[in-house]
Chain A
Amino acid sequence: MRANRPQGVRKGTVAFRGSLPRSLITAFVAVWAGLFIPAIGTGESSGPSERPNILFILSDNFRWDCMGFMNHPFIKTPGLDRLAEEGIVFENAFNTTSLCSPSRASILTGTYARTHGVLNNHTPWTGQKPTFLEYLSKAGYDTAFIGKWHMPGKGLPDMPYLDLFVSYTYREGQGSYFNCPLIVNGRPEPSEKAYITEEMTRRAIEFIEQRSFGPEGAKRPFCIYLSHRTAHPPFHAPQGIAGMYAQEKVSLPKRVDSWFSRTNGNVFQGIMMGSYEDQYRKYCEVITAMDRDIRVLVDRVDELGFRDNTIIVYAGDNGMMWGEHRRHGIKYPNEESIRLALIVRCPWLVRDPGRRRSQMVLNVDFASTFLDLAGVTVPKEMEGQSFLRILEDPEAPGRKAWLLEYWKYFPENFPSYVGVRTDTHKYIEYEKTLEPELFDLTADPGELRNLHGTPAGQEILPDLKGMLEALKNGERM
């Protein structure tokens, strides 16, 4: 519980790191103020006087380094650059299962795939695990799910607790970039805007605007889960953006060539037409298109006066490999595949905007974090950890290790695997065919030297295997 806790308590806790006498006095005052005058803060910074709003923006197959501020050679993402400047960038954010549907289910339920049961993109969502949106709704939040659902099952699930549910089942739930037929609160509706991120953004803005008007006392905090189709193939950017990177030079990883998009089953990633370089340019274009709409949305949030009481979280559901290790796609245990983009703007918690955090956070952490922020007790069933503390404090401890798991997904030709990733190492065991892999991520961040079976690997293997078994048994580290 965090937001229900009087603000003064939290700020006071942080103040202990300053000079001791002053901190003690501040803390003392804060505790008493917190106990008897719940809405009063210490005066150190102005946090929201009510429970904060939550705007969660999720993208698809978004590679963590495809943003302007990450020194990408040509992509333009002024919207995300701005969020990074005003918020915190998590450099070590990961998904626990590198595939769309399992990752999305993990985000919504705060649990690992082995717990929520959506093991791959063919396994139905059962709805047995409550989502963080449900908890927030019960806690008095207005909740909206807008965008890509993409979990198997018969149509869209029944989620009566949502105040707005805009999604689509078109093409296996992948939707389309243009004129995607929508389902709004259970009823088919056409898109008003032709381009999908524009339409979803419009819906999100409309939802926020409805909450900004009306009598002050009647207002409830809101939580929006805005889930974009971008950047899922085939890549189609809108007019004005399509073709903007056509002349950019793309440097493919060594050992990859222009035909790579048509070999090794990669055509089933929707990248058959055009060279591999062309596909990458188009991938960047759809990201720029989404970024344009993120900028519009953030501007509107600020214009409506929600800036100081709205947390904005931008994340990807997976990473994306573009030829590294001669692999394309999202299903691999490599860093390019499992690493997530994660930016958080939270003006009242972040004291050092524009900085980065190196602690490891996971997709299963989002649910706990949002509940924590809203002052809702995080249920024991949730397997993630709130990262609000890390947001506040760059020195806050992070997790030691976590479980990475993947269940094979037809027709993606890669076997099931399970592994452990620590701050320094990664160990992966495959169901069949492939030999185990062990990488020292500090000495070999590109994962080029498999230490499994080497003396150096033998030294660390027992520890990693022990951690793996413990994590599989539900231990958290």
Chain B
Amino acid sequence: MAGQANAAVKGLGFRERLVTPVLVVFVVMTLSWIAYNLAWRLENATLHRVVASVSGTLLFLSVVLGPLAVYCMAYFRGATLKERIGASLINPFLWATKECLRLCISFSLLESVYYYFNPLNVWLALGIAAEMALAEMICRQRRRSQGADIRVLQPIAVAALLISLSLVISLYLWGEGENVYAIFLEGYRVFFGPGTGVGVKL
């Protein structure tokens, strides 16, 4: 599907097709994360607020909307569907991993791994599914406008968009996420009990 659609750029190698799109977003995400976490050290309050606001916004966009950008870039560089999906997932996965590792400050590695299933990551995964479906439509529309004989609204993409988007919204509306969070905690207790730690000498 994508290989045929992007015959013009078929000659691009793995690095150009996949690594570059992922790296572009990764660099934005990493730099904005570093800037945000350093901003509070600025003595000048106004400068602190400006740097924090800009880097915070960029960080949010790169994590949440990064997959959309990666998918589109990979599409026009001739990546296959599997490659596009894989590339879109890399940065959010790295971010989620960073968040899990953060928990090692207080918890065991296994507990930190369970953190992958937190509601925020569930939303992120659903959001990414919606973004990839949307990106597929955007890319196809773009190619169609360039004269390609291509169907814009593919049933599977439309279904993926509708299902994932409705799940994102309905899970949030269902108690503003509190209910999903409650399920997450219930799951934690099943695996780890109260999690106060074994042999903690306080």
Chain A residues within 8 Å of B, Cβ to Cβ: 114, 119-120, 122-124, 152, 171-172, 174, 176, 234, 254-259, 262-265, 267-268, 270, 272-273, 326, 405, 407-418, 431-433, 472
Contact = CB atoms under 8 A, between A and B. Distances in A.
A426 B65 CA distance: 45
B118 interface: yes
Given A122-B194, A257-B39, A413-B106, A174 B52 contact: no
B145 interface: no
B195 interface: yes
B111 interface: yes
Nearest to A262: B60
B202 interface: yes
Interface stretch (B2-10, B136-144, B175-183): B175-183
A414 B36 CA distance: 21
Interface in B161-193: 175-179, 181-182, 185, 188-189, 192-193
Contacts of B150: none
B156 interface: no
Given A171-B175, A259-B53, A265-B99, A411 B115 contact: yes
- The majority secondary structure among interface residues of chain B is helix
A306 B94 CA distance: 62
A286 B117 CA distance: 31
**Minimum-distance CB pairs A-B, first 5:** A259-B56, A257-B52, A122-B194, A123-B194, A255-B40
Contacts of A414: 105-106
Contacts of B56: 257-259, 262-263
Interface of B: 36, 39-41, 45, 48-49, 52-53, 56-57, 60, 99, 102-103, 105-107, 111, 115, 118, 120, 175-179, 181-182, 185, 188-189, 192-197, 200, 202
A164 B87 CA distance: 59
Contacts, number: 117
A122 B188 contact: yes
Given A259-B52, A410-B111, A122 B195 contact: yes
Given A123-B196, A405-B202, A268 B178 contact: no
B36 A433 contact: no
Nearest to B202: A418
B37 to A, nearest CB: 8
A408 B179 contact: no
A176 B195 CA distance: 26
Contacts of A254: 45
Contact of A263 (B36, B115, B177, B195): B36
A408 B107 contact: yes
Given A257-B52, A411-B115, 5 more contacts: A176-B178, A259-B60, A268-B120, A407-B202, A413-B105
Contact of B195 (A172, A268, A409): A409
A416 B200 contact: yes
Contacts of A171: 175, 178-179, 182
Contacts of A412: 106
Contact of A416 (B177, B179, B189, B202): B202
B202 A408 contact: no
A413 B103 contact: yes
Contact of A415 (B102, B105, B120, B195): B105
B178 A174 contact: yes
B51 to A, nearest CB: 9
Contacts of A409: 195
Given A114-B202, A172-B185, A257-B49, A432 B106 contact: yes
A262 B56 CA distance: 9
